[in-house]
Structure 1
Amino acid sequence: MTTGLELEKQVCFALYSATRAVTQLYRPVLDALGLTYPQYLVMLVLWERGPVTVKQLGEALELDSGTLSPLLRRLAAHGHVRRERSTSDQRSVLIHVTDTGAALRTRATSVPRRIAGATGMELVELEALRQNLTRLTEAVSARTLTPEEEEPT
């Protein structure tokens, strides 16, 4: 008898397992660059958008400043980013990519291709998956369930 509580039927577990597996796939590739996965995500935003405030970076990555600050400190210690107070608003800190961080971008250009190839999936499948995950994130981010809500029929 199935109850719907079987582990293999849970979307949350499939997402959790996929996240762990993909993050593990990135590890050796990013180790060669001297980056952790979260640091790589920070660098992706900076390479794409140029100097941004810590707040903008947090919004882009959906991270709070308590999580982001240690990441930025480590990236700065490795010479990849530079932090400076905004001249227009002393409360804001701008994050800039350094020359070392910009050089890292060149070395990182093969990362997406290598990861995509390692999945064994076609690019069109990966893009469809990305789009579906984005839709799922948007849908669940806009909702909260209360204990009183009825189950769907």
Structure 2
Amino acid sequence: MSTAARMLEHNWNRQLQSLGLTHAGVMALDVIYREGSLTQAQVAHKVGVQAQTMGKTLTRLEVHGHIARQRSTQDRRSYLMVITDKGKRALAEATEVEEELAGTGVLEHGELREALEQVIRDLSNTDTMPLKIVRDTMESLPQEARWVAEGVASQRPAGESSEGTPESAED
């Protein structure tokens, strides 16, 4: 999954360059669009990165005119990130690019795409993924996808159970 995500992000970033965006920039724009005005720290928290990392992304978005920084009326020391009209248009175009990429290959299969989207939703709402979510997700996948996932699981070191603990001789 990690390799697939990196490859998808690499291809997506290459197509987003003409919009002055990166994958990280689209994520930040999407959060600001959905949530409204947010501080740099709030955007970073919602995207799941450090505030310093998000600072570079937000600066790039500001330089391209996708966001504007407005001084907070409640805390004059901080700034709020606000999406601009140009940012809304860029976000819409980036969404189209994402849909085109996601519509190719294996992600065309609705069941797998829905299962991956559910994993994302579940993980974005919690700090850890309960085992029940993993099992439910596996059960909802098409048979071919379960074979792939189970094949990866079967490659764990001999003598190690699916929970990552050594199997007893009685098993």
Cα RMSD, aligned residues only: 2.5
Of the three residues 97, 100, 104, the one matched with 1:111 is: 97
Cα offset, 1:135, TM superposition:
4.4
**Does residue 77 in structure 1 map to residue 91 in structure 2?**
no
1:107-147 Cα offsets, whole Å, 9 max, x none, are: 234123212212333233111023235546746479xxxxx
Match of 1:151 in 2: 165
Q: How does 1:39-58 map to 2 (within 5 A)?
A: 39-58=25-44
**Does residue 89 in structure 1 map to residue 75 in structure 2?**
yes
Q: Is the 8 A contact 2:45 2:51 kept in 1?
A: no
Q: Percentage identity across aligned positions?
A: 30
Cα offset, 1:25, TM superposition:
2.6
Cα offset, 1:92, TM superposition:
2.9
TM-score using structure 2 length: 0.65
Q: Could you tell me how far apart the structure 2 residues matched to 1:91 and 1:64 are?
A: 20
Match of 1:132 in 2: 119
Q: Is the 8 A contact 1:80 1:100 kept in 2?
A: yes
The structure with higher relative contact order (CA 8 Å, sep 6+) is 1
Match of 2:19 in 1: 33
Q: Which of these two proteins has the greater Rg computed from alpha carbons? A: 2
1:10-51 Cα offsets, whole Å, 9 max, x none, are: xxxxx4312211212312321232211111111111222222
Which shows bigger deviation, 110-119 or 35-44?
A: 110-119
Q: Is the 8 A contact 1:76 1:82 kept in 2?
A: yes
Cα offset, 1:82, TM superposition:
0.7
1:54-112 Cα offsets, whole Å, 9 max, x none, are: 22211110111110111111111111111122111124320001222122233234123
How many residue pairs get matched?
132
DSSP-derived class of the 1:96 partner: strand
Match of 1:7 in 2: none
Specify every segment of 5 or more residues in structure 1 that has no aligned partner in the other structure, as ranges: 1-14, 143-149
Match of 1:61 in 2: 47
Q: Relative to 1, partners in 2 of residues 1:135 and 1:48: Cα closer, same or farther, differing over 3 Å?
A: closer
Q: Relative to 1, partners in 2 of residues 1:119 and 1:68: Cα closer, same or farther, differing over 3 Å?
A: same
Q: Is the 8 A contact 2:12 2:98 kept in 1?
A: no
DSSP-derived class of the 2:92 partner: helix
Q: Relative to 1, partners in 2 of residues 1:32 and 1:81: Cα closer, same or farther, differing over 3 Å?
A: same
Specify every segment of 5 or more residues in structure 2 that has no aligned partner in the other structure, as ranges: 131-163
